[in-house]
Amino acid sequence: MANILITGKTQLLGVIGHPVEHSLSPVMHNAAIAQLGLDYIYLPFPIEPENLEIAIAGFAAIDVVGFSVTIPHKQAILPLLSEITPIAQAIGAVNTVSRKNHQWVGTNTDIEGFITPLQTTYHQDWSQQVAVILGNGGAARAVVAGCHQLGFAKIHVVGRNMQKLQEFRNSWGNSPPAKNLQVHTWDALIKLIPQANLLVNTTPIGMHPKVNESPLSAEEIKKLPPGAIAYDLIYIPKPTQFLQQAQQQGAIAIDGLEMLVQQGLAALKIWLQQETLPVDVMRQALRNHLGLG
């Protein structure tokens, strides 16, 4: 990897979160910056919730170009922004902030991150297809919006808590994704899985260190139809137990690493105002960092 040289003109990018030390974003963004030979640096900023407002004001004062937003600030940052893109409004969360005319603009690149691996790998007409999404948290919102954008006929969201599921359903109001969206408790899976052309895990079940766990039982996964796509948002381990089980059933597997790369790529395009970026370098930097070679 090329080196980054800090000068008197170096421009600042970064990620805010709490905790933030496990973020993989600095690895991939600094790899791209170094490859492009740009005078930028991308840093981790651990910011406690009570310091969010003052931190964002400080970022404006020191001319930060843009930053990523992770847990717990994805919703809390909304009132501190001058503009929120329709896509971020639809999800109700911001993961990317940029500076435009001395004002902060928030957007969400998780939708693009989620759909790009589907679009680039599988050129399908999704209009007759059924998506089943496990989990109803923050990432599930981007997945629902992404499935809607791809044109899925039906989008089923499955969770463990009916009250949270109903809140999730109601939060979409009459917005376009709400039209084809249904929510179910976990016991509905046995009838939903046979219909699933796309099955997405947005729960943390199976994430390192609990690598032997899976959101689905062996019996449930056996109901997956031939040719289905199994997509796990988790990127450590790669692949998860869920993806291994699905592959054994003949499903096509997509893991969370490519989503991570693609949401980062979309953010970097916004900050650098540059369409052509070294995505292979970003992906490889992450793979090296995770010991995937």
Binding site for ligand NAP (CB under 6 A): 110, 113, 135-140, 159-161, 164, 202-205, 207, 233-235, 256, 259-260, 263
Supply the minimum distance, in Å, between the C-beta of residue 119 and ligand NAP: 16
Is 74 noted as a catalytic residue in this protein?
yes
| Three-state SS annotation for 36-86 | HCCCEEEEEEECCHHHHHHHHHHHHHCCCCEEEECCCCCCCCHHHCCEECH
Whose structure tokens read 């989503």? 259
Instruction: State which residue, 160 or 222, has the beta carbon closest to ligand NAP.
Output: 160
Q: What is the CA radius of gyration of the chain?
A: 19
Instruction: State which residue, 60 or 218, has the beta carbon closest to ligand NAP.
Output: 218
Instruction: State which residue, 127 or 163, has the beta carbon closest to ligand NAP.
Output: 163
Instruction: State which residue, 57 or 73, has the beta carbon closest to ligand NAP.
Output: 73
Supply the minimum distance, in Å, between the C-beta of residue 234 and ligand NAP: 5
Supply the minimum distance, in Å, between the C-beta of residue 127 and ligand NAP: 26
Helix or strand run (H / E) with residue 35 = helix 25-36
Any residues with CB less than 8 A from the CB of 279 and at least 6 apart, and which? 261, 265
Which of 64, 88, 11, 82 lies closest to 266 in space, CA to CA?
Answer: 88
Per DSSP, 101 falls in state T
Catalytic entry in 74, 210, 238, 269: 74
Which of 69, 139, 141, 55 lies closest to 107 in space, CA to CA?
Answer: 69
Task: Confirm if 208 and 292 have CB atoms less than 8 A apart.
Answer: no
Supply the minimum distance, in Å, between the C-beta of residue 84 and ligand NAP: 18
* Residues catalogued as catalytic: 74
